[in-house]
Amino acid sequence: MLDTKARHLVEPAISQSANLFLKIGLTANHVTVIAFIIGVSSGVFIYLDQSILALAVLWFSGFLDVVDGTMARKTKTSPFGTVLDVTFDRLVEISVILGLAFRFPEAMWVLLLLSVSIIFCMTVFLTVGAVAEKSGIKTFYYQPGLAERTEGFILFSLMIVFPDYLIAIGLIFLGVEIFTAVQRLTEAGKILK
């Protein structure tokens, strides 16, 4: 929801960063890989009980993840770049979940359920994006929903900062993911008839 509704608030910083990276010779795919490497380190920092570093690299990777898409649209989008972007996004999320699971094994069950809900939600998102005839500024139909990447980062951040409430926050996150998947399935039923 925030990715769709509030992007205009950070667009100037995103656009300036995209222009800077393009000026120094980086491609969108370069930035995608850099964002991935930085992002997956968040799970390691979580496991090592370095919450501030985990948050910093997670959010910086998220920022770069938005910048790479802007760079692609300013130059030339590519289907392979889209595949890299979506795949690496999931691997960053998995690194956070694994870092939390290994750091807090008592919460592993809720993190497993959360992983399943993310897979379910992303399956709906990607399938609708692949078969929908609509298109937008991205290389496939981007179906908005309650939980987009920013909401996920906020919930992951709360889990990192408040580990005493990890299970409760994880259950809320699980509910948000399931709600979003159902929301997207409902919309898919309307637009794909």
3-state secondary structure 53-116: HHHHHHHHHHHHHHHHHHHHHHCCCCHHHHHHHHHHHHHHHHHHHHHHHHHCHHHHHHHHHHHH
What structural domains and CATH numbers belong to the chain?
2-191 (1.20.120.1760)
Q: Name the pTM for this structure.
A: 0.88
How far apart are the C-alpha atoms of 192 and 92, rounded to whole Å?
Answer: 31
pLDDT at position 68 over 70: yes
Percent of the chain predicted with pLDDT > 70:
91
pLDDT band at 1 (very low <50, low <70, confident <90, very high): low
